[in-house]
Amino acid sequence: MKRIPGSIKLVVITFYCLAGLFALIQTDAFAKDASTQQGKAQQLSKLDNATCLGCHELSNGSLHVSGAKSESGQPHGISQEKFVKSVHNEMQCVTCHKEITDASSPHKLGPGPKPDCVACHLELWETAKKENLTNEKARLGVVVRNVETYKNSFHARPNADDKTRVNAACDDCHNTHIFSVPPQGTTRRTDWHLTIPMVCGENCHADQLEEYAESIHGKNVLEMRNLKAADCTDCHTSHSITSTLKNTFKLSITENCGTCHTENLDTYRDTYHGQVNKLGYGYTAKCYDCHGSHGILSPSDPKSKVHPNNRLKTCQKCHKEATQGFVTFSPHANTSSFERYPQVWIVSRFMWSLLAGVFIFFWLHTGLWWYREAQDRKARKVHPERRKESK
């Protein structure tokens, strides 16, 4: 057999080595490619919270996805930090967001319903009742109670401009993603409570908030963090808010002021206005007709509606013919304070002494009379003029 020359051997071996190496590189690359493909497919079907937050995490205040609404100023980001502290922290995004069926951008929205606090929580409560867990899950009962009161409120009605939505839904006041109720008595609870005027005012009731911020209540709440002063919900309630034009509101608001200003409610009840109001008529002067509603100031403030300079004008809203003399009437006069209401004090003391004097004189006189009678009987004294009368 003829021997193959060494040089050809070398060429063939080199060829095979190179071919092998090439193949190795090729398959490796293929494998890599395949694994990324597979990964992509997996990610597309993954609907866990981490994936969602991959795009929706609120950092720097906006969503980092091109085409997102946040670029036009609409918030779309979720703060993961706050979400994990919320009452819904153990839930999957897609448990609520049944309409989201992919993790692509933008989503092709599925047919599922949009999340709805009311429907979901009514169902949860029914389940808790069936399982006899109403005591353990008492807080869920609070949610349902709030739903019930909310249902009859002004906010649950269709909006006048856009009938497809209500005036204010739960998540307009409570951001579902971060909603959590701090325990009573903690500073976090105080902080939460102090945000109420902003919740009402920032997006919807800016005019009222502006006026309120200048009032004695607003200054106490917003500047001095005084929880004892009235915020929006102390006067309007939080979930059973009614139209302020209704008679029920006009009657209940008086009681609401009175829960804090008990003395003023008592003295108001003693007046003509208060009596008429108590009988169920809302047309008469109520606290806010004289004091205003959102811009209430101390009566000593020259801008107050009941400051002596402005009082006549305030009364004239209803008492058209009133003159300066009319406002000497004190809506909160009481008989116990000489410094504030000296005339009333003097008149009341005079009436008391008159009453006491009459009774003292009466009993003294009668007593002396009886005494004389007794003495006369003892002395068998004859009174001819009396016998004549009795004949």
- Please, which of residues 230-289 interact with ligand HEC by CB under 6 A? 230-236, 238-239, 244, 253-254, 256-261, 264-265, 268, 272-273, 276, 283-289
The interface region with ligand HEC, picked from 28-36, 52-60, 358-366, 373-381 by CB under 6 A, is 52-60
Q: Which of 14, 52, 223, 303 binds ligand HEC (CB under 6 A)?
A: 52
Residue 58 buriedness (CB in 10 A; 0-12 / 13-18 / 19+): buried
Interatomic CA distance for residues 386 and 44, integer angstroms:
120
Q: Which of 95, 152, 323, 337 binds ligand HEC (CB under 6 A)?
A: 95
Tokens of 99: 């309409």
Alpha-helix runs per DSSP H in the chain: 6-45, 49-56, 80-83, 93-96, 117-130, 138-151, 170-173, 187-194, 196-203, 206-214, 216-218, 232-236, 247-260, 262-269, 272-278, 287-291, 308-316, 342-378, 384-390
Tokens of 322: 């009133």
Tokens of 360: 């003292």
Chain residues 204-233 in contact with ligand HEC, contact rule CB under 6 A: 205, 208-209, 212, 216-217, 220, 228-233
Chain CA centroid to CA 30, Å: 61
Chain residues 295-334 in contact with ligand HEC, contact rule CB under 6 A: 296, 298-299, 306, 311, 314-315, 317-319, 326-327, 329-332
CB of 350 to ligand HEC, least distance (A): 21
| 337 closest CA partner among 353, 326, 348, 352 | 348
- Does 336 bind ligand HEC (CB under 6 A)? Our answer is no
- Does 293 bind ligand HEC (CB under 6 A)? Our answer is yes
The interface region with ligand HEC, picked from 17-25, 34-42, 67-75, 348-356 by CB under 6 A, is 67-75
Number of residues in contact with ligand HEC under rule CB under 6 A: 122
Please identify, using beta-carbon distances, which residue of 148 and 373 lies nearer to ligand HEC. 148
Chain residues 114-173 in contact with ligand HEC, contact rule CB under 6 A: 114-118, 120-121, 124, 137, 139-140, 142-143, 146-147, 150, 155, 168, 170-173
The interface region with ligand HEC, picked from 10-18, 89-97, 344-352, 378-386 by CB under 6 A, is 89-97
* Whether 140 contacts 127, CB under 8 Å: no
* Whether 60 contacts 53, CB under 8 Å: no
* Whether 173 contacts 241, CB under 8 Å: no
